[in-house]
Amino acid sequence: MDGTDVPMLVPAEHLTSGRVLEGRHAAQLGAEPDWDTFRALFPLLRTDRYLAACSQGPLATPVEVAVRRFMDSWRTWGNPWEAEWMPLVRTAAAKFAHLIGAPPESVGTTASVSAALATVLSALDFRERRKVVVSTLEFPSVLDILVALRDAGRIELDVLEPVAGDLPLSLVDRAIDEQTALVCVSSVSYRSGSQLPVREIADLAHERGALCLVDAYQSLGALKLDVADVRADVVVSGTLKYLLGTPGVALLYARPELAAALEPTATGWRAQSDPFSVRLDRLDYADGGARFEAGTPSIIACYAADAALELLLTIGSTAIEGRILRLARAFVEGLQARGVVPLGPTGPGQLGPMVAVPVRGDPYEWQYRLAREERVITSARGKALRFAFHCYSTPDDVEACLDILDRTQCAIRA
Ligand SMILES: Cc1ncc(COP(=O)(O)O)c(C=O)c1O
């Protein structure tokens, strides 16, 4: 597939009806996933084993085609903002909403997860309740933004330290009190790879009148997340990891009743109900997730996200999660048999798509060496080498990774 057959200036109704992946792939994948067919959509997997979706997902051919469709539309039409580009942005957001079981209008696009967080925080009133609870399992950006707000005198910060890589619920329970405005938690820690008990944490937050913001960047695309089930107030995620898109766009869900009450001060023209009117008396925010937007989104990244989401929705989260957790479990059992203890807890409900293996020496050296010598692409972080499974991964990948750990002796044994 080279993308030259892709129609240009796709009518908006085609974009919203799930026909972006029309034809070959959707038909081949069908209701029961054909994993070999899915795997064949990733050219890189013909030569390399790919275990780095916790850092960046590999390029799928339908995503490449979508990026070319953007180039075609730009080359041919110049500025098809209303005819094609903005409807596509809304479609991509709607697909994300569908993925997490949210109403389409409850999702907005932002430039990054960092931008999404800053926008949400700019809308919260910390005068009555000043405290934000967070742990060091969160991605640095989350902590950076919160520390900046603390140092500016806007919030008090309670930073929890994990116990043996875990965030015990009792710790969170003790931290949330009547002064707490917000709890920020990842669905899966970028560092330990473990799932965190977001649903229970959201319940604790709500019991005490606080809000819960879930950073789902390290799980969406790999694990199921339904906002009705998790009861999160805000969910943020970028698209470039397990969601298989490119850098350049992030997505933000806000519970509709909460969104209606929030007025971000980190804002811009796209957050307004009429983006082109200038209101000097009072801003008139758009409804739903759109009120957390700011400036022009990365259209090219939205094309990629749209196609990638279509691909994942075609397979379905249940099948994807099942396969990934089976593979990750087999890897963990192989590690345990070798006396290697992954960084985070790996019990039922705790194991995520990524397993962080503590290694001897410099993990980045191992990452480059495995990529160069073994054509196994992993992702180093901290003192660990991260092995991230997706539904294109195979039992053979698991065996090959364990075999490499045996041969190189890079993993630290307990
Ligand atoms: C869990 C998590 N949150 C946030 C981020 C940062 O996202 P962004 O670069 O879009 O701000 C990352 C990036 O790796 C991440 O893994």
Delimit the domains of the chain by residue range.
88-312, 317-408
More confident residue, 339 or 24: 339
CA pair distance 272, 275, nearest whole angstrom:
5
Residues 198 and 166: beta-carbon distance below 8 Å:
no
CATH superfamily, domain 317-408, is: Aspartate Aminotransferase, domain 1 (3.90.1150.10)
CA of 53 to the centre of ligand 1 (A): 13
- Whole-number pLDDT of residue 32: 65
Please state the pTM of the whole predicted model: 0.93
Of ligand 1's atoms, which has the minimum distance to the CA of residue 117? 11
pLDDT score of 12 more than 70: no
Packing angle, helices 299-315 and 86-99, rounded to 10: 40
- Whole-number pLDDT of residue 10: 35
CA pair distance 23, 401, nearest whole angstrom:
35
Q: Whose CA is nearest to atom 7 of ligand 1?
A: 113
CA of 247 to the centre of ligand 1 (A): 10
Residues 60-98 pLDDT 10s: 999 999 999 999 999 999 999 999 999 999 999 999 999
Residues 61 and 39: beta-carbon distance below 8 Å:
no
The CATH code of domain 88-312 reads: 3.40.640.10
Query: Which pair of structure tokens corresponds to residue 68?
Result: 């070319």
Query: What H or E segment, with its residue span, contains residue 158?
Result: strand 156-160
Residues 23-38 pLDDT 10s: 334 444 445 689 999 9
Q: Do 317-408 and 88-312 fall under one CATH topology?
A: no
Q: What angle do CA 252, 258, 259 make, to 5 degrees?
A: 50
**Residue range 311-340: mean pLDDT, rounded:** 97
Ligand 1 cavity residues, CB under 6 Å: 112-114, 139, 141, 186, 190, 215, 217-218, 238, 250
In the numeric block, the tokens 């409804």 are attached to 287
CA of 314 to the centre of ligand 1 (A): 25
Of ligand 1's atoms, which has the minimum distance to the CA of residue 218? 1
CA 165 and chain centroid, separation = 21
CA of 141 to the centre of ligand 1 (A): 7
With b for 16 or more beta-carbon neighbours within 10 A and e for fewer, the 183-203 pattern comes to: bbbbbbbbbbbbbbbbbebbe
CA of 257 to the centre of ligand 1 (A): 26
Evaluated on CA atoms 353, 253, 141, 49, the torsion sign reads positive
pLDDT score of 251 more than 50: yes
- Whole-number pLDDT of residue 263: 98
**Residue range 105-132: mean pLDDT, rounded:** 98
Pairing, β 234-238 against β 211-215: parallel
Residues 134-187 pLDDT 10s: 999 999 999 999 999 999 999 999 999 999 889 999 999 999 999 999 999 999
- Whole-number pLDDT of residue 405: 97
With b for 16 or more beta-carbon neighbours within 10 A and e for fewer, the 154-172 pattern comes to: bbbebebebeebbbeeeeb
Residues 384-407 pLDDT 10s: 999 999 999 999 999 999 999 999
pLDDT score of 209 more than 70: yes
Give the least confident one: 172-176, 277-281, 295-299. Answer: 277-281
- Whole-number pLDDT of residue 164: 87
